[in-house]
Structure 1
């Protein structure tokens, strides 16, 4: 079972010009209950980084390999950012995507009726309240919202077998 961690790096204004980061973690794979983390983030203090709602750059770790990603400024993506830290269990849906159902729906204010995400994109599927990592061309689907992108070969996502934990977290 592979572990995936997503760590928010900071506000977009603080990271202009950042390139993809690829590194290896030495920690053991995360465990997951398939539900949001039971421990809410500590309240922000004047010295803390920008609130998660202002986040756009993230890092994603799959089985010890860390790479960057970007969340867009949609209400849906920013709702996801505001929930960090979050651990969910991803699994196969079809050959083009891996999905993780959320316990609580994300905001869909301003969301399109449908969208056609590309390989390397992060999405949200409204009918299932599910996050989606696209590793292939899933085609246009009603209820699909693009949340952002990840900066690594989508085959790394496609190669994940069965279910695997994904942790989204704010970088400190």
Structure 2
């Protein structure tokens, strides 16, 4: 019996710590799969953005309303019969499970992983982003890698954005995602 996740529509979350390329890879995947891309950071409440701008790490309590907004956005898209790609750090298993529950299981994750040195370098090269490099350490400490979880593709970020997106797309195809 075919896996029901293979039937469109479906949602894809491009996840990982700050600086891993979630937005850039998410945009590329959206283009390749003909799906709408949503920048998850744009859904953060102003209080969260202010905290992070000041170098203060978010708590679970800070993140839950944001995760719920992302879940609602994905669910609304799926209910309209449209797939969606969203960038979201989704650092902990409980966050990913909350997002999975929001969309009834039609959810895939692309986990972008890289070395602390590479992530630090990339964060330092960004212009105009509210997340300071100083919060990378707390994100790495919070991260529960999704290794072994269903519907997850892990991609090393030591490549160009196009190369990362191509590898992610190949992994998604093996899980049944089609354009």
TM-score by length of 1: 0.25
Q: Whose helix fraction is larger, Structure 1's or Structure 2's?
A: 2
Larger RCO, structure (CA 8 Å, separation 6 or more): 2
TM-score by length of 2: 0.25
Q: Whose strand fraction is larger, Structure 1's or Structure 2's?
A: 1
